[in-house]
Each structure stands twice: as structure tokens, then as C-alpha cells.
């Protein structure tokens, strides 16, 4: 271990060397890409987040209202934070559900819950930094704490926010998870990339519930992902017949995006589905028992809806 003091200003050559080391290790750990930003107040995001919350576009996702300040300033999450290291992990599968007329679940939920898979990789990366660089203090975040991961990924040059409000890039499309390490180490910072949505409106036109109310604005409270995963109560009747057979999440706006033509299959064995999942027919879904549910989704994020939630979605669709 080196003898670097945390928080110490380091020379630019060292900053470049450390940044390169971290990015190489991230690649080795299987991350698709890695970008770095200065840990600062997210000035541009503040009014945008406030407006979105005020318009109640988060529906019943009340947790979005919590930690408003922490969401905008990583220095409130990690003492003396200097850098936000953003990481993308591919989940695009090599095979999708076979029957085109069956009920569909979002590709991100095919395999083991990403929280566990990514947390382990982030811990390994932080450990590497501490071993190779020195006394670095940091915290790992995967969708579980108040961090605006899309904003950080964009600041770090990993992509732009598309009209469907997901981060996407020309090289890797948008089928990836985003995670961060916030650390008290100065690094070399990346710069954002240009928006390449251009005049395309494929995602807006294809959204089954018209949840993309204007370019770059998704009304979360109209989105199928919200209804099928977050909403605990009954799904409003006005949406009956509009879910296009999605029963857990929805990939429509990403599936139609031209930049996802370049998505390549992931190489993470833990993201592979249970062998029976991809061949489930509509009838299999309709007749699913709690035992089959437990077996199919033993480690999957689909467990979040519980058996009763998935049954509700199947019946509603
Ligand atoms: S996930 Fe589905 S419902 Fe939500 S915005 Fe995209 S296309 Fe619309
Ligand atoms: S479908 Fe078109 S508008 Fe939507 S995110 Fe992709 S490129 Fe942008």
C-alpha cells in the first residue's frame, strides 16, 4: 500500500496515472466503461429534479423526495469527496424470450439481482485502489442511495441522456446498469459527449402508455416500469390493454432506439436467466405457481414484486 494522505492535492502526472490504473482495473473487472467527474454540487440538475418532483412525476416513489441535498452533492455522502467514478455494466443478453406473444419481463431482470453483482465489483475496485494507490476513503453506490447516477454518467462522458431519459452512447447503446464510487482522491476528469438523438423520435412514438410526455421528459407515474414494479396498489383501469404484454418493467423505448443496434451481449454469467425462463409461454405465465415463481426468480430482481405483484401484472396485462 502507498502512503498517500487522503484529501491531499496530487500532481497532474500522478492524477493521470491513477485515473488510468482505475479505468484499466474497471475494464478487467468486466465494466463496459468508466468515466470520472469532480465531486461537486450538481448545479444544472437541481432545478430539473425539483421541477420533476413538484409535478409529481415520481408517482408513489416517495423515496425520490428524500435526501434532496445529498442527491445533488456527493460531498455530503463521503467526507472530503474529490471524485465520482461512474461505471457501466452491460446486461444485454445473448438470447431473449423465445415466444414473441408471451408476457415479457425487462432484460435487466433476467439473471441475478444486479445490486449484488455490481456491489461486489465495486468493492473489488475500491480495494484495488486502496492497495495500489494508498489510503483512499470511499463508498460504493448502486441505485441504493441518493446518487443521481445518470447525471454523473453524463458528466463523466459515458453517454448522453436520450429523449427516453436513459443514458445512451453511440458505442454501447443503453442496455447497461450505472454505478458509482465516490472517493476522496483527486483524479483526471472526463468531459460530457454530444447528444446524438437528433431528429429521431422512435422512443416517444413507440411508448405504449405515452409516458414520454415531451422529449427528455418521462412521466414516471405513467411508465409501465413504475406500474409493474413500484406501484403497490391496483393499476388504474385506464391503462388496461396498453401494457403490450409487459409484466415486469418495459424495454420498448430502448428496444426501438437505433443506437441499440450496436449492443453486444454481456459476458457476466450471473446475469444469465434460469434455463426455463426464456421458453415460458403465455399459458405458463398464467398458470405460474408460487413454487415456480420462487424457483425462476430465486436471485432475480423480479422478487421485488412478490408473487402477488407478478400475478396482478399478469392478470392486468
Ligand atoms: S419504459 Fe416503456 S412505458 Fe416507460 S417510457 Fe419507456 S417505453 Fe414508455
Ligand atoms: S430512440 Fe431516438 S430519440 Fe429516443 S433515445 Fe434513441 S436516438 Fe434518442
Q: Ligand 2 — pocket residues by CB below 6 A?
A: 162-164, 168, 197, 200-203, 256-259
- pLDDT of 8 reads 53
DSSP three-state, residue 269: helix
Angle at 141 between CA 138 and CA 142, to 5 degrees: 155
Mutate to test the pocket of ligand 1, among 215, 218, 228, 249 (most ligand atoms within 8 A of CB): 218
Candidates 140, 120, 108; CA nearest to 266 is 108
CA of 252 to the centre of ligand 1 (A): 6
Each residue's pLDDT, cut to its tens digit, for the chain (317 residues) gives 444 544 456 788 899 999 999 999 999 999 999 999 999 998 888 777 777 677 776 666 666 666 777 778 999 999 999 999 999 999 999 999 999 999 999 999 999 999 999 999 999 999 999 999 999 999 999 986 578 899 999 999 999 999 999 999 999 999 999 999 999 999 999 999 999 999 999 999 999 999 999 999 999 999 999 999 999 999 999 999 999 999 999 999 999 999 999 899 999 999 999 999 999 999 999 999 999 999 999 999 999 899 999 999 999 98
- Choose the catalytic residue: 80, 120, 143, 276: 143
- pLDDT of 63 reads 61
Per the structure block, which three cell numbers stand in for 71? Answer: 442527491
Helix ranges (DSSP H) in the chain: 12-28, 45-54, 68-72, 114-132, 149-155, 202-206, 224-225, 252-255, 282-286, 290-296, 306-316
Mutate to test the pocket of ligand 1, among 253, 255, 256 (most ligand atoms within 8 A of CB): 253
Take atom 8 of ligand 1 and give the residue whose Cα is closest: 207
CA of 184 to the centre of ligand 1 (A): 37
> Which ligand is closest to the CA of 229, given by its number?
1
| All domains in the chain, ordered by first residue | 2-96+111-183 (3.40.109), 202-316 (no CATH)
> Which ligand is closest to the CA of 162, given by its number?
2
DSSP single-letter state for residue 249 = -
- pLDDT of 4 reads 56
CA of 269 to the centre of ligand 1 (A): 27
CA of 163 to the centre of ligand 2 (A): 6
Q: Give catalytic status of residue 143 as yes or no.
A: yes
How large is the C-alpha radius of gyration of the chain?
A: 20
Q: Ligand 1 — pocket residues by CB below 6 A?
A: 164, 207-209, 211-212, 218, 223-225, 250, 252-253
Take atom 4 of ligand 1 and give the residue whose Cα is closest: 223
CA of 204 to the centre of ligand 2 (A): 8
Mutate to test the pocket of ligand 1, among 58, 109, 164, 210 (most ligand atoms within 8 A of CB): 164
The string of DSSP codes covering 280-298 is --HHHHHT--HHHHHHHTT
- pLDDT of 258 reads 98
- pLDDT of 162 reads 98
Take atom 8 of ligand 2 and give the residue whose Cα is closest: 197
Amino acid at each position: 500500500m502507498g502512503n498517500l494522505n487522503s484529501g491531499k492535492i496530487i500532481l497532474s502526472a500522478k492524477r493521470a496515472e491513477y485515473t488510468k490504473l482505475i479505468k484499466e482495473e474497471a475494464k478487467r473487472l468486466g465494466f463496459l466503461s468508466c468515466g470520472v467527474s469532480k465531486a461537486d454540487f450538481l448545479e444544472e440538475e437541481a432545478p430539473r429534479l425539483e421541477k420533476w418532483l413538484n409535478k409529481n412525476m415520481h408517482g408513489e416513489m416517495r423515496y425520490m423526495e428524500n435526501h434532496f441535498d445529498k442527491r445533488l452533492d456527493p460531498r455530503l455522502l463521503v467526507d472530503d469527496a474529490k471524485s465520482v467514478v461512474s461505471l457501466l455494466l452491460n446486461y444485454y443478453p445473448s438470447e431473449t424470450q423465445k415466444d414473441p406473444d408471451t408476457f415479457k419481463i425487462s432484460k435487466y431482470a433476467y439473471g441475478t439481482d444486479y445490486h449484488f453483482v455490481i456491489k461486489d465489483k465495486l468493492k473489488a475496485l475500491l480495494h484495488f485502489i486502496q492497495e495500489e494507490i494508498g489510503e483512499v476513503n470511499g463508498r460504493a453506490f448502486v441505485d441504493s442511495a441518493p446518487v443521481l447516477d445518470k447525471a454523473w454518467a453524463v458528466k463523466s462522458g459515458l453517454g448522453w441522456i436520450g429523449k427516453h431519459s436513459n443514458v445512451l452512447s453511440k458505442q454501447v447503446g443503453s442496455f447497461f446498469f450505472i454505478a458509482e464510487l465516490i472517493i476522496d482522491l483527486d483524479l483526471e476528469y472526463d468531459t460530457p459527449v454530444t447528444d446524438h438523438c437528433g431528429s429521431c423520435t422512435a422512443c416517444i412514438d413507440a411508448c405504449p402508455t405515452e409516458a414520454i410526455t415531451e422529449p427528455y421528459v418521462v412521466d414516471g407515474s405513467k411508465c409501465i416500469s413504475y406500474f409493474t414494479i413500484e406501484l403497490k396498489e391496483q393499476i388504474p383501469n385506464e391503462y388496461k390493454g396498453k401494457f403490450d404484454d409487459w409484466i415486469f418493467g418495459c424495454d420498448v423505448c430502448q428496444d426501438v432506439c437505433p443506437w441499440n443496434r450496436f449492443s453486444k451481449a454481456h459476458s457476466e454469467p450471473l446475469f444469465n436467466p434460469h434455463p426455463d425462463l426464456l421458453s415460458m409461454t403465455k399459458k405458463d405465465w398464467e398458470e405460474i405457481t408460487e413454487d415456480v415463481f420462487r424457483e425462476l426468480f430465486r436471485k432475480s430482481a423480479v422478487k421485488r414484486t412478490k408473487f402477488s405483484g407478478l400475478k396482478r401484472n399478469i392478470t392486468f396485462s
